[in-house]
Amino acid sequence: MSDVITLLPDHIANQIAAGEVIQRPASAVKELLENAVDAGATEIQLFLTDAGKRLIQVIDNGKGMSETDARMCFERHATSKIKQIDDLFHIRTMGFRGEALASIAAVARVELKTKRAEDNLGVYIEIENSQVLKQEACHCAVGTNISMKNLFFNVPARRNFLKSNNSELRHVIDEFIRVSLANPKILFTCTHNGVTSFHLEPGSHKQRFLQLLGNQYNAKLIPVKEQTDYLDIYGFVGKPDSARKTKSEQYFFVNDRYIKSPYLSHAVSAAFENLIPKDSHPIYALYFELDSSHIDINVHPTKQEIKFDDERLIYSFTRAAVKHALAQYSVAPPMDFSLNATVQQSEAINQPITEITREAIKESHLYQSFTQKNVAHKLDTVRTGSLTDWKDFFNPSTPNLSVHQGKTSQIAQQLYTRSDGQSLDPDAIFLQVQKTYIVAPFKTGYIIVHQQHAHERILYEKYAALAVQQKSGTQAQLFPIKLEFGAVDAALMNDLIPDLEGIGYKIESFGGNSFILHGVPADVPTGNEKDNVELLLEQYKHFSTDLNFAPREKLLRCLARQQAVKAGQKLSQKEMRQLVSDLFACNTPFSSPSGLPAFVEFDEEKLFQLFGN
Ligand code: ADP
Ligand code: MG
């Protein structure tokens, strides 16, 4: 037999490697902006066409590259930032893996113009499929001007994975904001399809945060500042009354690098405990400085996750620093602040990490189940929650309790044909279990309804029907309400106005980041409009990353989800009865709009099976 192993040609190896670093326009934007930061630029301009799918261009006034370096930078593992392995543990630059430009050149057409201050002429290079097409001397400004066109033109499978322009643009803007928050001394601009949506003058950390949040937050930010030998922390948290229904304005930076950390978020939330409602989230931008030997940045190709050598110390420090800041501004009762043994033995630090991890997993599961399409109506494949307890209660080896959509069971038939709920026994007592499941008896058995899934279904169908009737579905506001958003949300809001109107909102752009709300869909309770619209946007953002629904459909689903009774809410007999009968008035009562089961049934047959024979 002949040998079968061959070495992949470079351009294929680069394309494969690119998969890790460049997943979408936003990842390329991040890499290019970070290169400009590393080059010492004081001005960085980002230009995009079609959310970066057609063009991403970054122009910086940094140190530029020599002719040789300009050619070299597209080679894999070509970096000026580390020379030996030990350097990895003292990194202060954003890049160091030398992969970004090689990856970009493998999946897009790249044009680079760059010049150093000491050179008379710059160099122009065109590269595609990792092949240099052109290289020549050129006149250009000091710095680097790099464009990448038609991302993934040669990798159709990846191109097809890209989401709508709206959705990709949102990711791009998220990255832009993170890099610009990390570097407030640098002037940043962002121009999309010829419209400049961000022009961020250099300033302090606070000024930069306010440029993005909106100036109305000026009086709402509390400074955080603590220094120790091990770690400095600096930044801002919002006063409790600025807490949001969303987690969108929460940022951590470690040595000027944006990082994601559910662990640290938990620490900040812990500091706000009892100051804000459970479903609200503080806003913050917190900057950590510590010796880079205490962190490992190289745990993930995109470097957004890092490892601290002493996570528990960072946790307790963060919590204590935020608490201290809140206390100083008389927002919270004073506490004795010190990072001594007592703090280290505090409840926070001794709290088992499993609790936190569990939180994180729970969250991501919720998120997943929300975004997964057509999750089968089967209990064994989706989150069963406490229903497993029910199962165990009856019979630990109960096989596969499922709601059959094809075969309509006795109860479903009774319910489904009598949409007014008449088949419910008027004297039957409903039972609410764990403030989540409604046990509703029927003549031939009983069903267990998940109150939240069921209510989402009910509202979804109701709002969808109202949306069809359009205008008649709007309730006019007596007093128009002014809404202020941060720059990102305002951009999104502008995009969504037609679709929001389509589902019954009446919203008018008021210039800048302001909007006027004149009406909300009929049947949406009034009084909390501002929170509700904020939450709607936030849910919309999450939603849009995973599913290819039309914006209006997404909004409907988000609205239903937002207004639905939540698991954990106590319901009266009357409410339970109403909910169950409304559910069976639906066209598709079996599941929530996102596909989670709305009820399971135990009819005569099933009960018989369960008890053997
Ligand atoms: P890394 O940033 O990890 O070193 P990249 O592939 O992003 O790898 O870049 C390779 C090299 O190209 C960098 O190390 C740097 O020397 C050079 N380079 C990239 N972008 C710029 C820029 N905008 N200005 C100056 N030099 C740059
Ligand atoms: Mg780089």
Return the residue whose CA atom lies nearest to atom 21 of ligand 1.
35
What is the spatial distance between Cα 281 and Cα 586, in angstroms, rounded to a whole number?
A: 34
Interval 465-490: pLDDT, tens: 877 766 556 666 657 888 888 887 88
447 and 561, same domain (yes or no): yes
Q: Which residues surround ligand 2, an ion (CB under 5 A)?
A: 35, 95, 100
577 and 492, same domain (yes or no): yes
139 and 254, same domain (yes or no): no
Query: Domain boundary residue among 394, 419, 441?
Result: 394
Largest CA distance in the chain: 92
Using CB distances shorter than 6 Å, the residues near ligand 1 are 31, 35-36, 39, 60, 62-65, 73, 78-81, 95-102, 144
> Which among 129-138, 540-549, 571-580 has the top mean pLDDT?
129-138
Residues forming beta bridges with residue 288, ordered by sequence position: 233, 254
3-state secondary structure of 450: strand
**Predicted local confidence at residue 359, as pLDDT:** 41
For residue 96, the ligand closest to its alpha carbon is 1
Interval 339-382: pLDDT, tens: 434 343 434 333 333 344 334 433 333 223 222 332 222 222 22
**Predicted local confidence at residue 134, as pLDDT:** 96
Is there a domain that residue 411 lies in? yes
229 and 128, same domain (yes or no): no
Per-residue pLDDT, averaged over 569-589, amounts to 86
Is the pLDDT reported for residue 141 higher than 50? Answer: yes
25 and 64, same domain (yes or no): yes
Pocket test for ligand 1, best of 74, 101, 116, 119 (most atoms within 8 A of CB): 101
Is the pLDDT reported for residue 78 higher than 50? Answer: yes
Interval 62-77: pLDDT, tens: 999 999 999 999 988 8
Is there a domain that residue 233 lies in? yes
Is there a domain that residue 156 lies in? yes
Cβ proximity of 121 and 135 under 8 Å: no
Query: Domain boundary residue among 343, 372, 394?
Result: 394
For residue 17, the ligand closest to its alpha carbon is 1
Which atom number of ligand 1 is nearest to the Cα of residue 97?
3
**Predicted local confidence at residue 431, as pLDDT:** 92
Per-residue pLDDT, averaged over 179-193, amounts to 95
- Of residues 389 and 487, more confidence is placed in 487
Query: Domain boundary residue among 360, 394, 428?
Result: 394
Helices (H), 406-546: 410-417, 451-469, 487-502, 529-546
- What sign for the dihedral angle of Cα 46, 50, 53, 55? negative
**Predicted local confidence at residue 423, as pLDDT:** 59
**Predicted local confidence at residue 474, as pLDDT:** 67
**Predicted local confidence at residue 181, as pLDDT:** 97
Angle at the Cα of 28 (from 24 to 29), degrees rounded to 5?
A: 110
Specify the range with the lowest mean pLDDT, choosing from 50-54, 290-294, 405-409: 405-409
Per-residue pLDDT, averaged over 163-192, amounts to 93
CATH number for 365: 3.30.230.10
502 and 561, same domain (yes or no): yes
Is there a domain that residue 2 lies in? no
255 Cα to the center of ligand 1, angstroms:
19
Cβ proximity of 252 and 266 under 8 Å: no
Cβ proximity of 350 and 315 under 8 Å: no
What rounded mean pLDDT belongs to the chain?
A: 79
Is there a domain that residue 163 lies in? yes
Cβ proximity of 31 and 95 under 8 Å: yes
158 Cα to the center of ligand 1, angstroms:
24
> Which among 292-301, 381-390, 416-425, 509-518 has the top mean pLDDT?
509-518
Per-residue pLDDT, averaged over 292-319, amounts to 83
pTM value is: 0.62
What is the spatial distance between Cα 448 and Cα 600, in angstroms, rounded to a whole number?
A: 5
Q: For residue 162, which of 30, 57, 23, 47 has the smallest C-alpha distance?
A: 23
Which atom number of ligand 1 is nearest to the Cα of residue 82?
4
CATH number for 573: 3.30.1370.100
Is the pLDDT reported for residue 543 higher than 90? Answer: no
- Of residues 395 and 606, more confidence is placed in 606
- Of residues 130 and 372, more confidence is placed in 130
90 and 144, same domain (yes or no): yes
- Of residues 41 and 525, more confidence is placed in 41
215 and 239, same domain (yes or no): yes
98 and 235, same domain (yes or no): no
**Predicted local confidence at residue 492, as pLDDT:** 84
> Which among 51-60, 305-314, 493-502, 554-563 has the top mean pLDDT?
51-60
Is there a domain that residue 5 lies in? no
For residue 245, how many other CB atoms are within 10 A of its CB? 21
529 and 436, same domain (yes or no): yes
Which atom number of ligand 1 is nearest to the Cα of residue 78?
10
**Predicted local confidence at residue 207, as pLDDT:** 93
Q: Burial of 371 by CB count in 10 Å (0-12 exposed, 13-18 middle, 19+ buried)?
A: middle
Return the residue whose CA atom lies nearest to atom 14 of ligand 1.
79
For residue 328, how many other CB atoms are within 10 A of its CB? 15
Buried b (16+ CB within 10 A) or exposed e, 554-579: bbbbbbbbbbbbebeeebeeebbbeb
Return the residue whose CA atom lies nearest to atom 17 of ligand 1.
73
299 Cα to the center of ligand 2, angstroms:
16
Is the pLDDT reported for residue 386 higher than 90? Answer: no
Is the pLDDT reported for residue 581 higher than 90? Answer: no
The total number of structural domains in the chain stands at: 3
CATH number for 43: 3.30.565.10
Per-residue pLDDT, averaged over 186-204, amounts to 91
For residue 165, how many other CB atoms are within 10 A of its CB? 20
3-state secondary structure of 263: helix
248 and 322, same domain (yes or no): yes
**Domain region containing 511:** 405-603
Residue 331 pLDDT grade (very low, low, confident, very high; cuts 50, 70, 90) = low
**Predicted local confidence at residue 548, as pLDDT:** 60
163 Cα to the center of ligand 1, angstroms:
28
Is there a domain that residue 309 lies in? yes
Is there a domain that residue 611 lies in? no
583 and 450, same domain (yes or no): yes
